[in-house]
C-alpha cells in the first residue's frame, strides 16, 4: 500500500492550514539574496570576494524585480484573486516584498559606503566620487570625457516638441534640469549612461576610479551649452523582463521571440525606479508620472546605483585580495598514458564516469567527450540540447560545427526562451544553421531545460550509444564558477531512452514511458513522488539537493514520508517553501543551504540507506514549472562506486559548518555555528586533488 494512503488519517488535521505548511516563495527568494549579502558582509573573506558578492546581490535583485515582481504586478493589474500556496494574495506579497527589499538595500548601501569603500581605499583601490577629485585629476578627466565619452552621449530634451524618451531596461541615467537664461524656463533632459563604456573610469589603473555617471555629471554644462544647470540626479529603471508568456504555439517560434524582444525593448512595463535620495520632488514626480509608477515602486539608493557593476572591480589583478584560484583536475580515467589522448569511448564502455564540476575539469570531461565525437570517423550522429552556452566561440559549439562539416548528422535543440540569453541564442542558432547543423527549437508550449547529449557510433556490425546527462549548462564560463555534476555513460538502456527523448524533441512522438530516465513533464513528477513515498517508513532515508523546492505536492509528500518515519535532509540553495522542524508536521526534516565561492547548482536525489540507496541527478528543480511545464531529464546513477562518490558529496555538504545555513520552523535562516571548520568547497578541492594524483594502472582502470 502507498505510504500516503497509510498515513492519510493522521495527516489531514496536521497539514492544515496552508500558512503553517508553506513558506512564501518570493520571500524565500529574498532570504537567499540576504544570505548572499551576508557573504559580502563577512569581514573574514578576501576583500574583492566581498565586492563580488555585493555585485551578485545587486544582480540577483535585478532578476527578482524583472521576473518575480513583474509577475505579481501583472496579477494585480489583471485582478487575479488566486493566492500563493501559503495563502498570500499578490498585493500582500508585493507589500511584504517592499518591506524586505527596503531593509536589504539599506544594509547594502551601508556596507558599501561605510565598509567596502574605506577598506578598498586602505588596500590602494579608491572609488572617487565627483566631489572628491583633485584639480589634477579633474584635468585628466576632462581629456577622457572629450575624447572617449562625449562623442557617445545623446542628451534628450523633454518639451512640447520632444516627448518623454523611452528609458531602456536596467539603464542608468542622469535626470538633468536646465534653465534657459533668456526665457527663464526650466526643462527636463535625460542623459543615458552608455553601457558600452566602462562603469568605472580609471585615473590610475588598478588604483583610483571614478564612476562613469560622476564623470558625465562633472561635464553636464558641456552637454547643454548656453543653459544654466539647475540640478542633476542619477536614476535607474527596471522593466518586465520575462518572455515566458510568449506564444509558444506560434507557427514560427524564432520569429515570435524576435518580435517579442523588439516589442519589449519599447513597451515592457516599468516595475522599479531607483533614485538618488537627494532627487528633488519635482523631478521625482515627473519620472513617476511619465514611467506610470506609484510611490511604492520607487526605491531610494543612498550611494552607488547599480552595484552589479562592481563585478568589474572584482576582476582587478590583485591576487592578495581574492580567493586562491582553483584549477580543475582531470580524473585518472580521463587521462591518457603520457601524451596519448584517451579513447573516451573505450573508457565509457569500461564503465560510467561521474564528473563533479568545477572540481573536475569540464574541458577534459564534457567538452572532450563532444570533441572526441566530432573527430571520430565512426561517429554517425551527435544530438544535443543547448539552453545557455557561450555562443559561437564555445568549444562545444565549435565541435558541433566541425562534426557537421565532416558529414555527421548533428542536431542542436536550442532553447530560445533561456531568460536573458534570448538574443544571443538566436544569433548562434543561426551560426549553427549556416554550418549545416540541424537546429530545432523544442516542443510547443514547453521550455527545454534538459542537459543531454547523445552520440551515435558504428562499432563493427552494431550501433552503440554514448551519452551525457548533467545538471549544468553546456557553458565553459559557468562551468568554472557553478557547482554541477555530469554523468557520461554507454549504458544501452539509457542510450535507448535518450534516443527516444530526442525523437520526442525533434519529431512527432507521444512517448510517455522510459526504461530508466525520468523525464518532465511525463514521468518525472510521478517518479520522484513514488521514490519519496517508498521511503515513508521507519528507517527510510531521503537526501535531496536542488536549487529550489517550492512544489506543494512534493512538499506534502516529504511531510508524509517524514511523519511515517523517514529521516529527510534537504540541501536547497535558494527558494524553499517547506517548513522544517515543526512538531507534528516535519520533526524529521532538516533544511540547509550552502552559500560560498562557487554557486551550488547541481540537482541530486538520494533515496534509501547504504549500498541499497538509489541516486539520481539531472536538470530539474522541484518547482511546478520544472515538473509540469519544462522538458527535464533526470538519470539514475547505477554504478556502485559512482553512487558512493555521490554519497560522499552529499555527506560533505551535510557536514559543512563554514558555508552552511539552516532553516528553522519559524521560516528564518540562521548561519550554522562553526565547530569543525569543514568548508565543503575546500574539501571538494582536496578530494579532486586526491583523485587526480592517484598512482598506478589500477587507479586508471578503477571507476572515477
The residues assigned a catalytic role are: 449
Strand partners, 360: 329
Q: Is the backbone of residue 679 left (phi > 0), alpha (psi -120 to 50) or beta?
A: beta
Here the cell at position 81 is 484573486
- A 10 A CB-CB count for 224 gives 18
Q: How far apart are CA 601 and CA 609, in angstroms?
A: 24
Residues 68 and 94: beta-carbon distance below 8 Å:
no
Q: How far apart are CA 569 and CA 563, in angstroms?
A: 14
DSSP, res 576: B
Identify each DSSP E strand in 559-612 by its residue range. 567-572, 589-594, 599-600, 603-607
Strand partners, 186: 179
Give how far the C-alpha of residue 501 lies from the chain's centroid of Cα atoms, to the nearest Å: 25
Q: How far apart are CA 699 and CA 641, in angstroms?
A: 13
Residues 580 and 665: beta-carbon distance below 8 Å:
yes
Q: How far apart are CA 527 and CA 533, in angstroms?
A: 10
The H or E element containing residue 111 is helix 90-111
List the one residue out of 403, 370, 565 whose CA is nearest residue 470: 370
Q: How far apart are CA 380 and CA 382, in angstroms?
A: 7
- A 10 A CB-CB count for 412 gives 24
For cell 525520468, the residue is 518
Q: How far is CA 332 from CA 340, 686, 689, 704, in A?
A: 13, 15, 11, 7
Here the cell at position 137 is 585629476
Q: How far apart are CA 127 and CA 138, in angstroms?
A: 14
Q: How far apart are CA 519 and CA 638, in angstroms?
A: 17
- A 10 A CB-CB count for 358 gives 26
**Up-side HSE of residue 443: CA atoms within 13 Å toward CB?**
21
Q: How far is CA 166 from CA 126, 149, 162, 239, 541, in A?
A: 34, 21, 11, 11, 55
- A 10 A CB-CB count for 189 gives 22
Amino acid at each position: 500500500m502507498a505510504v500516503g494512503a497509510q498515513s492519510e488519517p493522521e495527516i489531514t488535521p496536521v497539514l492544515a492550514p496552508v500558512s503553517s505548511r508553506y513558506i512564501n516563495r518570493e520571500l524565500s527568494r529574498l532570504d537567499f539574496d540576504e544570505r548572499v549579502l551576508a557573504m559580502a558582509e563577512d569581514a573574514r573573506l578576501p576583500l574583492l570576494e566581498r565586492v563580488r558578492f555585493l555585485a551578485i546581490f545587486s544582480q540577483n535583485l535585478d532578476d527578482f524585480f524583472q521576473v518575480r515582481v513583474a509577475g505579481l504586478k501583472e496579477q494585480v493589474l489583471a485582478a487575479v484573486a488566486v493566492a500563493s500556496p501559503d495563502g498570500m494574495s499578490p498585493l500582500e506579497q508585493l507589500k511584504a516584498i517592499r518591506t524586505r527589499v527596503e531593509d536589504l538595500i539599506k544594509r547594502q548601501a551601508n556596507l558599501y559606503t561605510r565598509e567596502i569603500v574605506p577598506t578598498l581605499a586602505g588596500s590602494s583601490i579608491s572609488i572617487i566620487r565627483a566631489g572628491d577629485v583633485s584639480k589634477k585629476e579633474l584635468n585628466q578627466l576632462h581629456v577622457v570625457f572629450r575624447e572617449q565619452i562625449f562623442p557617445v552621449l545623446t542628451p534628450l530634451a523633454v518639451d512640447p516638441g520632444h516627448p518623454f524618451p523611452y528609458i531602456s531596461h536596467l539603464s542608468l541615467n542622469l535626470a538633468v534640469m536646465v534653465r534657459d537664461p533668456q526665457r527663464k524656463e526650466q526643462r527636463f533632459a535625460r542623459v543615458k549612461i552608455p553601457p558600452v563604456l566602462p562603469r568605472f573610469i580609471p585615473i590610475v589603473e588598478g588604483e583610483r576610479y571614478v564612476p562613469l555617471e560622476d564623470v558625465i555629471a562633472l561635464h553636464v554644462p558641456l552637454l547643454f551649452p548656453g543653459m544654466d544647470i539647475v540640478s542633476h540626479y542619477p536614476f535607474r529603471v527596471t522593466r518586465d523582463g520575462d518572455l515566458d508568456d510568449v506564444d509558444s504555439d506560434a507557427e514560427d517560434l524564432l520569429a515570435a521571440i524576435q518580435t517579442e524582444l523588439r516589442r519589449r525593448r519599447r513597451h515592457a512595463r516599468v516595475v522599479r525606479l531607483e533614485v538618488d535620495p537627494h532627487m528633488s520632488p519635482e523631478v521625482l514626480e515627473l519620472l513617476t508620472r511619465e514611467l506610470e509608477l506609484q510611490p511604492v515602486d520607487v526605491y531610494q539608493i543612498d550611494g552607488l546605483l547599480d552595484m552589479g557593476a562592481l563585478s568589474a572591480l572584482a576582476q582587478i589583478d590583485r591576487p592578495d585580495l581574492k580567493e586562491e584560484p582553483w584549477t580543475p583536475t582531470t580524473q585518472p580515467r580521463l587521462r591518457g598514458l603520457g601524451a596519448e589522448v584517451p579513447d573516451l569511448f573505450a573508457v565509457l564502455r569500461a564503465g560510467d564516469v561521474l564528473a563533479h564540476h568545477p572540481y573536475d575539469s569540464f574541458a577534459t570531461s564534457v567538452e572532450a567527450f563532444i570533441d572526441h565525437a566530432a573527430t571520430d570517423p565512426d561517429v554517425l550522429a551527435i544530438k544535443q540540447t543547448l539552453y545557455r552556452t557561450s555562443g559561437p566561440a564555445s568549444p562545444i559549439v565549435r565541435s558541433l560545427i566541425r562534426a557537421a562539416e565532416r558529414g555527421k548528422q548533428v542536431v542542436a535543440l536550442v532553447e530560445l526562451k533561456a531568460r536573458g540569453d534570448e538574443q544571443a541564442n538566436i544569433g548562434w542558432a543561426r551560426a549553427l544553421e549556416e554550418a549545416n547543423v540541424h537546429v530545432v527549437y523544442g516542443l510547443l508550449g514547453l521550455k527545454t531545460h534538459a542537459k543531454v547529449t547523445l552520440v551515435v557510433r558504428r562499432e563493427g556490425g552494431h550501433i552503440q550509444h554514448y551519452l551525457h546527462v548533467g545538471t549544468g549548462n553546456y557553458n565553459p564560463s559557468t562551468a568554472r564558477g557553478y557547482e554541477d555534476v555530469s554523468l557520461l555513460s554507454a549504458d544501452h538502456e539509457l542510450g535507448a531512452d535518450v534516443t527516444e527523448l530526442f525523437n520526442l524533441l525533434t519529431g512527432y512522438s507521444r512517448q510517455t514511458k522510459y526504461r530508466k530516465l525520468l523525464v518532465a513533464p511525463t514521468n518525472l513528477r510521478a517518479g520522484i513522488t513514488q521514490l519519496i513515498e517508498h521511503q515513508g517508513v521507519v528507517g527510510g532515508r531521503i537526501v535531496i539537493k536542488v536549487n529550489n523546492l517550492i512544489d506543494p505536492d512534493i512538499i506534502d509528500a516529504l511531510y508524509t514520508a517524514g511523519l511515517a518515519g523517514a529521516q529527510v535532509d534537504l540541501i536547497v540553495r535558494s527558494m524553499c517553501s517547506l517548513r522544517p522542524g515543526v512538531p507534528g508536521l516535519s520533526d524529521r526534516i532538516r533544511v540547509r543551504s550552502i552559500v560560498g565561492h562557487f554557486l551550488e547548482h547541481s540537482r541530486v536525489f538520494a533515496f534509501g540507506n547504504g549500498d541499497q540507496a538509489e541516486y539520481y541527478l539531472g536538470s530539474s528543480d522541484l518547482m511546478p514549472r520544472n515538473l509540469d511545464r519544462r522538458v527535464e531529464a533526470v538519470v539514475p546513477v547505477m554504478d556502485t562506486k559512482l553512487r558512493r562518490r555521490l554519497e560522499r558529496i552529499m555527506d560533505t555538504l551535510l557536514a559543512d559548518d563554514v558555508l552552511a545555513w539552516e532553516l528553522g520552523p519559524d521560516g528564518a535562516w540562521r548561519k550554522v555555528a562553526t565547530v569543525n571548520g569543514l568548508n565543503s568547497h575546500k574539501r571538494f578541492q582536496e578530494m579532486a586533488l586526491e583523485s587526480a594524483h592517484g598512482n598506478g594502472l589500477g587507479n586508471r582502470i578503477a571507476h572515477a
